[in-house]
């Protein structure tokens, strides 16, 4: 390994859930590690760590991305939304409320990714069909629920958000 003696640190500035964060990071630091370990926001989960399961899904500049497959340095200058940014003043986001009311989770491990992925869907398509929901969630794996109640939850959230 032809590395210089000292590890390179790169300054990055990101907005996370509306709060500006400036840090010096090693270039090989993954975005999910930056979120969980550097910022201490452990709501974003690491599942498979191979870009398969979607538990680490966050929103970067409006797009759902797998934060285990992005470097923190690539997010420099971006606006990031994690599951912690959904609740406002102690009130659950309609998606969180719908997952709770419709039994859209069991163990809850995949739920932060499910929520962020469905948030991106509803931003683009406020009234999705079941097919649209299934297509969007194709990159989010749940080993408990069998998905039926997750889909029901997203439909319920879509209706609730349209009524608002």
Partner 1 sequence: MYPAPFRYFRPGSLDQALTLLSELGESSRPLAGGQTLIPILKLRMDEPTDLVDIGRLPGLGSINIEDGIIHIGSLATHARIGRHAVAGMIPVLADCANGIADAQVRNRGTIGGSVSTADPSCDWPTLLHTLDADIVCQNAHGSRSVPIREFIADAYTTALGNAELVTGIRFKCPPENSGGSYIGFKKAAPAYPAAAAGIQITLAEGDVCSDVRLVLGAAGPRPVICGEAESILRGNTITRANLEKAAEAIIAESDPPSDIRGSSGFKRTMLHSLFMQAADIAINRARGNRVQGVHEYV
Interface positions with partner 1 (CB under 8 A): 1-4, 7-8, 10, 26-30, 33, 49-52, 54, 57, 63-66, 69-71, 73-74, 76, 117, 120-121, 135-136, 138-140
Whichever of 97 and 147 has its CB closer to partner 1, that residue is 147
The beta-strand segments (E) located in 36-115 are: 57-60, 63-66, 79-81
CB of 79 closer than 8 Å to CB of 60? yes
CA distance 141 to 162: 27
Least distance CB 126 / partner 1 (angstroms): 16
Compute the least distance from the CB of residue 63 to partner 1, in Å.
Answer: 4
CB of 66 to partner 1, least distance (A): 5
Mark 41-77 as b/e (b = at least 16 C-beta within 10 Å): bebbbbbeeeeebbbbbbbbeeebbbbbebbbbebee
Closer residue to partner 1 (CB): 65 or 158: 65
Q: How far is CA 87 from CA 6, 17, 65, 91, 92, in A?
A: 41, 10, 20, 6, 5
Nearer to partner 1, 103 or 146 (CB): 146
> Smaller CB distance to partner 1: residue 70 or 80?
70
| Distance of closest approach, residue 102 Cβ to partner 1, in angstroms | 22
């Amino acid at each position: 390994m032809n590395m210089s003696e000292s590890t390179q640190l790169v300054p990055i500035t990101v907005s996370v859930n509306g709060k500006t964060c400036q840090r010096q990071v090693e270039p090989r630091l993954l975005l999910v590690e930056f979120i969980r370990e550097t910022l201490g926001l452990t709501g974003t989960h690491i599942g498979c760590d191979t870009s398969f399961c979607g538990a680490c899904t966050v929103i970067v500049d409006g797009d759902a991305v797998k934060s285990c497959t992005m470097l923190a340095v690539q997010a420099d200058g971006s606006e990031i939304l994690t599951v912690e940014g959904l609740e406002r003043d102690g009130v659950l986001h309609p998606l969180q409320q719908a997952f709770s009311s419709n039994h859209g989770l069991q163990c809850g491990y995949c739920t932060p990714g499910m929520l962020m992925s469905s948030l991106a869907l509803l931003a683009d398509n406020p009234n999705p069909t079941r097919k649209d929901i299934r297509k969007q969630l194709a990159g989010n794996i749940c080993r408990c629920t069998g998905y039926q109640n997750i889909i029901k939850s997203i439909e319920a959230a879509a209706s609730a958000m349209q009524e608002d």
